Copies of this chain bind each other. A is one copy, B any other.
Amino acid sequence: MNLRRFATFALITLIGCTTPPSATVPTEATVNAISTLDAAFDAEAQRKLEQQFDSYLNSENLRDWMKHMSSRPHHVGSPWSKQNAEFAAAKFKEWGYEAKVEQFDVLLPIPKVRVLEMVAPEKFAATLKEPVLEEDASSGLREDLLPGYNAFSADGDVTAELVYVNYGIPGDYEVLERHGIDVEGKIVIARYGGSWRGIKPKVAYEKGAIGCIIYSDPRDDGFFRGDVYPKGPYRMAHGVQRGSVVDMPMYPGDPLTPGYGAVDGAERLDIEDAPTIMKIPVLPISYADAQPLLEAMEGPVAPDHWKGALPITYHIGPGPAKVHLRLEFEWKLRTAYNPVGRMEGSEFPDEWIMRGNHHDGWAFGAADPISGMVSLMEEARAIGELAKTGWRPKRTIIYAGWDAEEPGLLGSTEWVEHHKKELDEKMVVYINTDGTTRGFLGVGGSHTLEKFVNEVRSEVKDPLVNVSLQDRLRARIRVDGNKYAEREDIPIGALGSGSDYTAFIHHVGISSLNMGMSGEAGGGSYHSIYDTFDHYTRFMDPDFVYGVTLSKATGRTTLRLADATVLPFRFTNFVDHVKVYVDQLKEMAKKVKEETERTNRLIEKNAYSLSAHPDRQYVPPVKLGSVPDFDFSPVDNAVSRLRTSAEKYEMALTKSVTENGRPAGATARNLNQILMKVERAMTRDDGLPRRPWFKHMIYAPGFYTGYGVKTLPGIREGLEQRKWEEVNLFVGEVAAVLNRVADEVDGASLLLK
């Protein structure tokens, strides 16, 4: 589901530079800290095991399984989704796992009627079709194929003038306001990008629009980026991006069963009461279909940063282009099949390491998600091979294939909600993958695992360039001029949403990682019928060498977590990041205040009106309420305290291992019990404002970004949305969370005395 994976975006998505760690001066504690490998293992023995693991990996398996699993459409509810689930479960079993397929009955609307036509100033009927390509065998298969649509759009039959709203995010509506244009009673047309797609109809509805069209502009996703399919990998004129618009930032998963599993007999909301279902009809279209609509618009010329790559002058409207949009869906429960394979831990069966990747796709879904799924399966198979040699993991390892991720993370969310109590007790780390291509190993996740991940990345070689993934990524960020290029640990990104880690980390507070290869394959097949085996093997990772490389990285991650004497959580990296977030928020508070004062001053001086074009409509901004000064000292103090605790822990661990050897017995057990639950201490039972399902106080997907992370979200979104009382409330809550984390870490240190 994660779009960024399929494009050659800047490395920023790989290393999470949007939230870089402060370049803290290394202290004695961090410089001399024992590695996570040495604290947990006889390094030589572990490396030998991992080499053995590597030796079992075979890229031909990835190819064969992808060919099979992507040979038919396999969205939730389709026959091939069930087949794939059973296929994976059978494989797990064959490889020595206890395997089953867990089922949930979840809502998925499927289109019955899709009409989009321009009724004025000219007639034009959108084709809403993706053509068959000779060069792509799959593109001709139509059985079970879902057409282009946005899952959880409302039913609707509306006719109105169009307004072009750029990406359709809140800032875009400010531009419209300055032009004196409102969307009340209108249908908006937004381009994909700038946020997760579900934000667009949500904001449009909040602003009074009665319908929403989303199209893929070739500037962001088409010929502007590179040659289009089948010549190149990019989106061709008729390619449509399907996708869910369910209000995931409120809660993901089945809209009818918020917070609990959608099992047989579960209480279900009425569809009309489900708050995450959109209230207006929404339809995604191709740029071939969008061009006539946009070309027929008049009104002000769009600002430069609103303009796409179609060969037209972009106008905002409203109208005169007027469209008729009619959508009707079959609203039905469908069965989601989650294949789960389990290898019980020999020493700590109630400490679980879990790997997951979804298996459902919008159409053939070769890249998204099968590329990640087959890499996960090959990892599982190789671990099965290891087990055949007599090795057993100390902790329980679980592999899952999630169904119904595409419509809104339904398979994983229902599973997490259903097993919540047990997961809260037993889950150590959840490691997610999703579609994967070629390039660099990008990691997002809990910063308590940042040091660990950096060590893992240093152990795996790039398949084409003869250095480790870590060295290659470092070379890249050096060239990019990233200011943390020389930091010992390359920053990992914070997790927002967009894949199946969401319920684990945000709802239950389970330490999570999201890993994948990206950055060196162009992509434009995302959620179209052209995400096929043919496309993948021509453009993404033709020889599956990067897929196998991912297996090496995730396999090491799984193996080390499963067998570690001391779990590889470290807290100084985490504090580095939190400190940066706090600094950002202080800066932001200052900026909001300054910008507010500036705007009000310009209004007083009449500068907006005087500088506006005398012949054009212009509505100056209105005066804003003043911004209070915030007291960040509670978080500042908590950060300081946590840094002390984090350093104390690293010193205690280093000293303990160096002097007494790796912990064992009850000490190790108790220590790991503390470590694995530190992330839980980052949650708040009441969750975030207006979305109590999201309980993590350090990371959340943005309420108005959808996928994009907001760190310290209570404070940050309070500032963004000018809810000053929430800022103050969450300064306290974040401080409390950090203090709880410090308590836990202090407890861990104490055990090592």
| Chain B, Cβ-Cβ closest to A620 | B479
Residues of B within 8 A of A472 (CB): 610-611
A309 to B310, CA, bound (A): 8
A223 to B309, CA, bound (A): 11
Choose among B232, B309, B611 the residue that contacts A475 (Cβ–Cβ < 8 A): B611
Taking a contact as CB atoms under 8 Å apart, the answer to whether A520 and B613 are in contact is yes
Segment from A96-104, A601-609, A712-720 that makes contact with B: A601-609
Taking a contact as CB atoms under 8 Å apart, the answer to whether A471 and B227 are in contact is no
Q: Report the minimum CB–CB distance from A160 to chain B (whole Å).
A: 24
Residues of B within 8 A of A464 (CB): 614-615
Residues of B within 8 A of A602 (CB): 478-479
Taking a contact as CB atoms under 8 Å apart, the answer to whether B313 and A606 are in contact is no
For the complex of A and B, 8 pairs with smallest distance between CB atoms: A475-B610, A476-B611, A464-B614, A475-B611, A475-B607, A311-B311, A478-B607, A226-B301
User: Residue A56 at the B interface, CB < 8 A?
Assistant: no
Residues of B within 8 A of A462 (CB): 614
User: Residue A641 at the B interface, CB < 8 A?
Assistant: no
A476 to B301, CA, bound (A): 20
Q: Report the minimum CB–CB distance from A464 to chain B (whole Å).
A: 4
Task: Digitize A565-600: 1 where CB-to-B-CB distance is under 8 Å, 0 elsewhere.
Answer: 000000000000000000000000000000000100
Taking a contact as CB atoms under 8 Å apart, the answer to whether B223 and A610 are in contact is no
Copy number in the complex reads: 2
A499 to B476, CA, bound (A): 45
User: Residue A77 at the B interface, CB < 8 A?
Assistant: no
Taking a contact as CB atoms under 8 Å apart, the answer to whether A224 and B313 are in contact is yes
Residues of B within 8 A of A312 (CB): 223
| Chain B, Cβ-Cβ closest to A605 | B478
Choose among B234, B309, B605, B614 the residue that contacts A311 (Cβ–Cβ < 8 A): B309
Taking a contact as CB atoms under 8 Å apart, the answer to whether B313 and A465 are in contact is no
Number of interface residues of A (CB under 8 A): 41
In the assembled complex, 9 residue pairs joining A and B whose CB atoms fall closer than 8 Å, in A order, are: A224-B307, A226-B301, A226-B313, A310-B311, A464-B614, A465-B610, A475-B610, A475-B611, A479-B602
Q: Report the minimum CB–CB distance from A441 to chain B (whole Å).
A: 13
Residues of B within 8 A of A467 (CB): 610
Taking a contact as CB atoms under 8 Å apart, the answer to whether A606 and B475 are in contact is yes
Taking a contact as CB atoms under 8 Å apart, the answer to whether A223 and B479 are in contact is no
Q: Report the minimum CB–CB distance from A112 to chain B (whole Å).
A: 35
Choose among B301, B465, B478 the residue that contacts A227 (Cβ–Cβ < 8 A): B301
User: Residue A491 at the B interface, CB < 8 A?
Assistant: no
| Chain B, Cβ-Cβ closest to A314 | B224
Residues of B within 8 A of A478 (CB): 602, 605, 607, 611
Residues of B within 8 A of A605 (CB): 475, 478
Residues of B within 8 A of A411 (CB): none
User: Residue A638 at the B interface, CB < 8 A?
Assistant: no
User: Residue A253 at the B interface, CB < 8 A?
Assistant: no
A322 to B175, CA, bound (A): 45
User: Residue A228 at the B interface, CB < 8 A?
Assistant: yes
Taking a contact as CB atoms under 8 Å apart, the answer to whether A607 and B479 are in contact is yes
Residues of B within 8 A of A608 (CB): 475, 479
A605 to B467, CA, bound (A): 13
Q: A475-B605, A478-B607, A478-B611 are in contact. List 15 more A-B contacts (CB 8 A).
A: A223-B311, A224-B307, A226-B301, A309-B311, A464-B615, A467-B610, A472-B611, A474-B607, A475-B610, A475-B611, A476-B611, A478-B602, A479-B602, A479-B611, A481-B598
A224 to B301, CA, bound (A): 10
User: Residue A218 at the B interface, CB < 8 A?
Assistant: yes
Q: Report the minimum CB–CB distance from A466 to chain B (whole Å).
A: 9
A475 to B602, CA, bound (A): 8
| Chain B, Cβ-Cβ closest to A224 | B307
Q: Report the minimum CB–CB distance from A292 to chain B (whole Å).
A: 14
A232 to B228, CA, bound (A): 32
Task: Digitize A214-226: 1 where CB-to-B-CB distance is under 8 Å, 0 elsewhere.
Answer: 0000100001111
Taking a contact as CB atoms under 8 Å apart, the answer to whether A218 and B607 are in contact is no
| Chain B, Cβ-Cβ closest to A300 | B226
Residues of B within 8 A of A225 (CB): 301, 313
A86 to B223, CA, bound (A): 54
Residues of B within 8 A of A307 (CB): 224
Task: Digitize A610-633: 1 where CB-to-B-CB distance is under 8 Å, 0 elsewhere.
Answer: 110111000000000000000000
Taking a contact as CB atoms under 8 Å apart, the answer to whether A223 and B313 are in contact is yes
A602 to B475, CA, bound (A): 8
| Chain B, Cβ-Cβ closest to A606 | B475
A481 to B598, CA, bound (A): 9
Task: Digitize A304-320: 1 where CB-to-B-CB distance is under 8 Å, 0 elsewhere.
Answer: 00010111110000000
> Which residues A423-474 have CB closer than 8 A to chain B?
462, 464-465, 467, 471-472, 474
Q: Report the minimum CB–CB distance from A119 to chain B (whole Å).
A: 23
Q: Report the minimum CB–CB distance from A288 to chain B (whole Å).
A: 11
A610 to B313, CA, bound (A): 42
Q: Report the minimum CB–CB distance from A379 to chain B (whole Å).
A: 24
A479 to B462, CA, bound (A): 50
Q: Report the minimum CB–CB distance from A543 to chain B (whole Å).
A: 11
A471 to B474, CA, bound (A): 52
A223 to B610, CA, bound (A): 28
A346 to B201, CA, bound (A): 74
Taking a contact as CB atoms under 8 Å apart, the answer to whether A614 and B226 are in contact is no
Residues of B within 8 A of A232 (CB): 313
| Chain B, Cβ-Cβ closest to A8 | B613
| Chain B, Cβ-Cβ closest to A463 | B614
| Chain B, Cβ-Cβ closest to A237 | B311
Query: Assuming A227-B301, A464-B614, A476-B611, is B606 touching A218 (CB within 8 A)?
Result: no
Q: Report the minimum CB–CB distance from A468 to chain B (whole Å).
A: 10
Q: Which of A312, A462, A464, A614 has the most CB of B within 10 A?
A: A614
| Chain B, Cβ-Cβ closest to A520 | B613
Q: Report the minimum CB–CB distance from A251 to chain B (whole Å).
A: 37
Residues of B within 8 A of A228 (CB): 313
| Chain B, Cβ-Cβ closest to A473 | B611
Taking a contact as CB atoms under 8 Å apart, the answer to whether B218 and A311 are in contact is yes
A59 to B466, CA, bound (A): 74
Residues of B within 8 A of A226 (CB): 301, 313
Residues of B within 8 A of A309 (CB): 309, 311
Q: Report the minimum CB–CB distance from A536 to chain B (whole Å).
A: 16
Task: Digitize A59-82: 1 where CB-to-B-CB distance is under 8 Å, 0 elsewhere.
Answer: 000000000000000000000000
Q: Report the minimum CB–CB distance from A666 to chain B (whole Å).
A: 46
Q: Report the minimum CB–CB distance from A17 to chain B (whole Å).
A: 15
